Amino acid sequence: MAVYLSLGKDKQGNFHHIDDQKSGRGTLFCPFCDCPLIAAKGRVKAAHFRHDGETCNESLNEIPQIPAWHHFHLNYPLEIIDALKDGYQADSKSPNVFQHWKSGLHRFPRAAKEELFSRDDWTDNLTFTDTARTILGSLPLLGFSQWMRNTLQMRVHTLREAIDQGTKHRAWLEIEAHRQQAILKASLYLFEYQLADKTVIHKVGRTARAPEQRLKKTVLGL
């Protein structure tokens, strides 16, 4: 699949998504090579930025997904997810069933095993790590919040190291910082509306604005 650049950078170093841009030449630049960008918003291809000049190679790389923000599978293949869910169910049934499930643990690749399970040295009990519980959806909200913050910090740390070693373009760190800020600034809302005929409807979503502002907009939309 072709990858298209979806983020442009302004003179001040702020990032802007293609969705918020008008079609045509704007004031944004490629985050990787500083070439001026043209917003291409046609009907056939997904909206994207085109270089007003030669397209640089770096911009052809996909902007990575952020685990647990875009999806809860954390880049694990479906077999692992399914096996993990089986294990979780077995664990909630009885120690015997779980014992049986554990005997198939060798199906997990080593790295996955280390990330998803921890073993108590004294009791030899196997428990699911917070990462596994994030996939399973069984981590309480506070624990998830902590896990998410650690994960985001780790991503920055890893990127910084790669940039220091010269294996990654600096712009990847700036892009990551921009996206993480957007995540951390977003608020989750649950709105309840009562219509004129007394029906009640609910809406769940997230917004970068104040929820009150969002509420006004959605009321207009109804």
- Does the protein bind Zn ion through residue 28 (CB under 5 A)? no
CA–CA gap between residue 83 and residue 187 (Å, rounded): 33
Q: Kindly tell me which of 49 and 101 has the beta carbon lying closer to Zn ion.
A: 49
Q: Kindly tell me which of 47 and 183 has the beta carbon lying closer to Zn ion.
A: 47
Using CB under 5 A, which of 36, 40, 47, 56 touches Zn ion?
A: 56
Stretch that binds Zn ion, among 56-64, 125-133, 168-176, 178-186 (CB under 5 A): 56-64
- Does the protein bind Zn ion through residue 29 (CB under 5 A)? no
Q: Kindly tell me which of 34 and 161 has the beta carbon lying closer to Zn ion.
A: 34
Stretch that binds Zn ion, among 35-43, 80-88, 134-142, 153-161 (CB under 5 A): 35-43
CA–CA gap between residue 108 and residue 81 (Å, rounded): 10
* Near Zn ion in 83-102, by CB under 5 A: none
- Does the protein bind Zn ion through residue 59 (CB under 5 A)? yes
- Does the protein bind Zn ion through residue 63 (CB under 5 A)? no
Report the nearest approach of Zn ion to the CB of residue 164 (Å).
22
Q: 112: helix, coil or strand?
A: helix
How many residues touch Zn ion under the rule CB under 5 A: the total is: 6
- Does the protein bind Zn ion through residue 32 (CB under 5 A)? yes
Both tokens of 212, joined, read: 């009150």
CB-based contacts of 84: which residues, under 8 Å, 6+ apart?
Answer: 76, 116, 128, 132, 135, 136
Name the nearest CA neighbour of 68 among 157, 160, 139, 170. 139
CA atoms within 13 A on the CB side of 10: 10
Q: Are 136 and 88 in contact (CB under 8 A)?
A: yes
CB-based contacts of 160: which residues, under 8 Å, 6+ apart?
Answer: 173
- Does the protein bind Zn ion through residue 7 (CB under 5 A)? no
Report the nearest approach of Zn ion to the CB of residue 30 (Å).
3
What does the binding site for Zn ion look like in residue numbers (CB under 5 A)? Answer: 30, 32-33, 35, 56, 59
